[in-house]
Structure 1
Amino acid sequence: MNPIIEKALEKSFTYKEYRNYITQLFKSNKVTGNEQSEDLLHYTELNEARMNRLEKTINVTDENKLKLEKLEKDYLWLVISEGWCGDSAQIIPVIYKMAEVSDKVELKIVFRDENDDLMNLFLTNGSRSIPKLIIIDKTSNEVVGEFGPRPNDAKQLILDYKVVNGIVDETAKIELHKWYTQDKGISTQKEIMNVI
């Protein structure tokens, strides 16, 4: 296994540990990552509510359940994230629900700002965009695929918005989260299954 990935795994969390860590930090008026601000506290609060809702409402499709249950290899799914990231709040509960379906998938989560070397291996067009799912074959310890930071249709929504408006502002973020709500995690599931 790549030593950078091994080092990151030493500081990794299960999904439940990740959720608990973010909640406890938030109760102390702190957020994950290197930067602390009122905006990031606000985003973390929104994300806590989003993730609570998604844990109750997101379902893995029957087709994807079947595929996940029939996986022949064992995988480690390593996600790079931060608690204030809106895309992470929308995507990580979907990844968690998928991992729960299969005894062939182990899910671990690490924080981006604590794992610079790892993040630098998985940049998106030169940027430190999250969440980023790294799929590792547990037998060979090789990276076999990656997904993120968002599904293709969501990426296109933001690209189109930038063309028209020049920036990604609050209106763009609202439109993005509406898209996630309407999609119900289906695109994320489909694209992850295509990577496997």
Structure 2
Amino acid sequence: MSLRADGRKNRQRILDTAEAIFAEQGFDASLEHIATQAGVSRMTLYRHFKDRETLCIAVLERNVAELELRVEALQDDPYACLEIMNMMVELFAHNQGMVEGLTRHPTHQNDIDRLRHRVVDLLVDPLSRAQTAGLIKTDIGREDLFLVMSMLGAAVGHGSLQTRTEHVRRALNILQFGFMCPPDEK
């Protein structure tokens, strides 16, 4: 295996391991533990990611990119907006610890804002299709999507990944009643 391919493989292992450990232990998880579990040295981890924040941003970037790929498969589905929101539930619960930790570091606020905009952008066209199909109220707009994201983020809470997922899923179910069209308005 070439050095370049080996480097990509190490980077991928670090990201996979960091994602799992940050999801369970939060932002302050030991980077040494992440390196050990990924089967790389601390030096290798730091060669790829200069600090904890950079590693977290890389994990979040990858998760949003994966969400973007999943959304592409739903392009023509009028229910895609609701499905994407369900995907967001998983993303929020899984990444809550990283996002919470990054918000303590104002130098990365632009990165967090950019990722939030990417996630909201994923919902704009599906929202319009759902509104055209009479599934979602027409007075719901892009700014409301940011509000929904904030509400879901606040609903995540603390606890195990399973508990966080249950909390945010319940919050989404409640929110969906607020923007769904009643049967007589379709």
Q: Say which structure is richer in strand.
A: 1
TM-score (norm: length of structure 2): 0.28
Larger radius of gyration between Structure 1 and Structure 2:
2
TM-score (norm: length of structure 1): 0.27
